[in-house]
Copies of this chain bind each other. A is one copy, B any other.
């Protein structure tokens, strides 16, 4: 059951991609966020409430980098919200399945949101369910399904989780 060398290498690559994802969002470089996905990658946020009842409604759903770029445009240009930052934590990675090309994994995330006037809160906690495309050049998400444990969103959700 203890992982062999290949498992170790996979974990390392998955964790590296997870860390890049965190930095892109938390360092306010959201423009780079779509580039962490494959061209037709899928990004979706579905609450545990909907997910566990097989209800398809998502809070955000981006099919492909174009829709992700539009979320960036929304964030930068269109939508109105109070200035805020996220700080992510991640733990509990498990590789569920892997072949030469694709890794499937699950892990925990926690997002602390801080508003410009200083208020901090647990904004979201839950799991990432990922399909990762292995590519010697640069690993990418084929799919990242975010499943928040909470059914509630405080105020609004404008930055991807």
Binding site for B on A (CB under 8 A): 1-3, 8, 12-13, 16, 19-20, 22-23, 26-27, 48, 85, 87-94, 106, 108, 110, 112, 114, 116-122, 124-127, 136-139, 149-152
Q: Is the CB of B118 within 8 A of A151?
A: yes
**Identical chains in the assembly:** 3
Instruction: Return chain B residues, CB-CB under 8 Å to A124.
Output: 120
Instruction: Return chain B residues, CB-CB under 8 Å to A26.
Output: 92, 108, 127
Q: Is the CB of B12 within 8 A of A85?
A: no
Q: Is the CB of B19 within 8 A of A118?
A: no
Instruction: Return chain B residues, CB-CB under 8 Å to A121.
Output: 122
A-B contact pairs, 21 of them (CB 8 A): A1-B138, A2-B138, A8-B12, A20-B94, A22-B91, A27-B106, A48-B85, A87-B108, A87-B110, A88-B91, A89-B92, A89-B108, A90-B92, A114-B149, A114-B150, A116-B151, A117-B151, A118-B152, A120-B122, A120-B150, A122-B122
